[in-house]
Amino acid sequence: MIDAETLFAPASGFGRAAVAVIRLSGPGARDVVTALGGALPPPRRLSLRTLRDPADGSELDRALVAWLPGPNTYSGEDMAELHLHGGPAVRMGVLTALARMPGCRAAGPGAFTRRAVLNGRMDLAEAEAVADLIDAETEGQRRQALRQLDGALSRQVAAWRAEAIDCLAAAEAALDFADEGDVDDAGLDAALFCRAASLRDRIAQVLRDGRRGERLRDGFTVVLAGAPNAGKSTLLNALSRRDVAIVSDTPGTTRDAIEVRLDLGGLPVLLVDTAGLRDTAEPVEAEGIRRTRARIAGADLVLALVPPEGGEPDLAGTAVRVLTVQTKADLLAGFQEARSDGRLEVSVKTGRGLDALLDAIQAQAEAGLGQGEALITRARHRAALEACAAHLDRLCAGAGGPPELSAENLRLAVRALGEVAGHVGVDDVLDRLFAGFCIGK
């Protein structure tokens, strides 16, 4: 990669702290370190230096400086880190001095990781795993991100791509050397289609994973549904252990969906309180009910709340898993956490049944998300693998057809696999990915 600019950015959070870290990367990193701190520290050792502003020689801070010569660095370039005292004035003084130095530029979101990808230190799937690791809120998300960062998807796709390239080479040989005596067209075609079909079936098997990886990244969505005053908002507050929703005896209080994130057994769960389901002519409430139906359709699990006076919500046609919950069970005669009809009884007033309900939600989340073992974690991965499988399927369906068409389908399959790790056509993907990164990463 050719880039004459040296990037700099804070790699730690803003605000008052014990230590603030500023990261540099680029061909001028060595000159920046010596201009600020004098003698260059030994490689990969923290050394105490007095940092001075090159413009006027004023002292900026006494800091620990790490000099990291490339290419064996995170970005693949010369890098350095300045471990400053964490006051905002100290950090701003050093950043201001860096901004005035020739060839230095403040880094944008994900700029260091983008250079790591362009310099071959990691592929695109691994860079996405870095973003997922930063955003991980639960143990399951952390495990999945670390597995991807370790190259689980990249290694598998590389093996598939190598096999597809071998098939393509065989197809090209049949085209280019058909007049050679040692090339058996019929035998070569039979072997090629057999290998392609096997590769297609293995990719298709991975695609049949219930989208566990994407769902683990986004969270297991649980929608609370029921008639007005069924206790949805009260239950949401109790499960989240904080007052996030307004509770009122007036029907139709909840109009917009209210979301709360929970960590259940290391898995991300998104609880969604929704508008009460009923027939109404009031336009705002009707819009809330329409949105409720939409959230139910996209949920992983629906809690159908039934108050003591009855009124089970109409969820006919709902394709997702439904768990019926009897609310306000303290008003019932004879409390049963788990009834013979499969309902769970809960009482927010007494707290009974809440733990059983959380256990039931966690069990559903574990069944739906797994424990971070999915290979596919993003919609982009899935789209590329589906495209590859489709090209291989067309190849196998066209067995015995024009050899040029077979070779073209293999070329497209190889290209689709290359998109996963970023070997081809990823400029737009890079822009979208790194726009969501933290500055300094």
- Max Cα separation, the chain? 89
Class of domain 6-121: alpha beta
The C-alpha R_g of the chain, in whole angstroms, comes to 29
Q: How is residue 433 written in tokens? A: 């990915």
Residue scoring higher pLDDT (95 or 189): 95
Which one-letter DSSP state was computed for residue 329?
Answer: G
Sequence ranges of the domains in the chain = 6-121, 126-209+376-422, 219-369
CA distance 257 to 255: 7
Mean pLDDT along residues 222-249: 82
For residue 350, CA distances in Å to 222, 240, 353 come to 23, 16, 9
Q: Is the pLDDT of residue 323 over 60?
A: yes
pLDDT at 312: 78
- Inter-axis angle of helices 124-135 and 139-149, nearest 10: 160
Q: Which residue has the tokens 């939409």?
A: 294
- Alpha carbons 323 and 356: distance in angstroms, whole number: 12
Half-sphere exposure of 218 (CA within 13 A, CB side): 15
For the entire predicted model, the pTM comes to 0.80
H or E element that contains 428: helix 427-435
Q: What percent of the chain has pLDDT over 90?
A: 51
More reliable by pLDDT, 351 or 60:
60
Does the domain at 126-209+376-422 match CATH 1.10.10.10? Answer given as: no
pLDDT higher than threshold 60 for residue 2? no
The three-class DSSP label of residue 48 is strand
Residues in the chain: 441
Average pLDDT for 211-218: 90
Residue 81 has pLDDT above 80, yes or no: yes
Q: Does the pLDDT of residue 319 top 70, yes or no?
A: yes
Q: What are phi and psi of 47, to 5 degrees?
A: -130, 140
- What's the pLDDT score for residue 1? 46
Tell me whether the CATH fold assigned to 126-209+376-422 matches the one assigned to 219-369: no
Worst-scoring range by mean pLDDT, 17-26, 102-111, 243-252? 243-252
CA distances to 31, 73, 95, 158 from 107, in Å: 18, 17, 11, 31
pLDDT band at 406 (very low <50, low <70, confident <90, very high): confident
d(CA 150, CA 146): 6
Would you tell me which CATH number, out of the four given (3.20.20.150, 3.30.70.270, 3.40.50.300, 1.10.10.10), belongs to the domain 219-369?
A: 3.40.50.300
Q: What is the mean pLDDT of residues 102-130?
A: 92
The answer, yes or no, to whether residue 162 has pLDDT greater than 50, is: yes
Burial of 81 (0-12, 13-18, 19+ CB in 10 A): buried
- Quickly tell me which residue has 């004459």 as its tokens: 4
pLDDT averaged over the chain? 86
pLDDT in tens, 370-402: 777 889 999 999 999 999 999 999 998 876 667
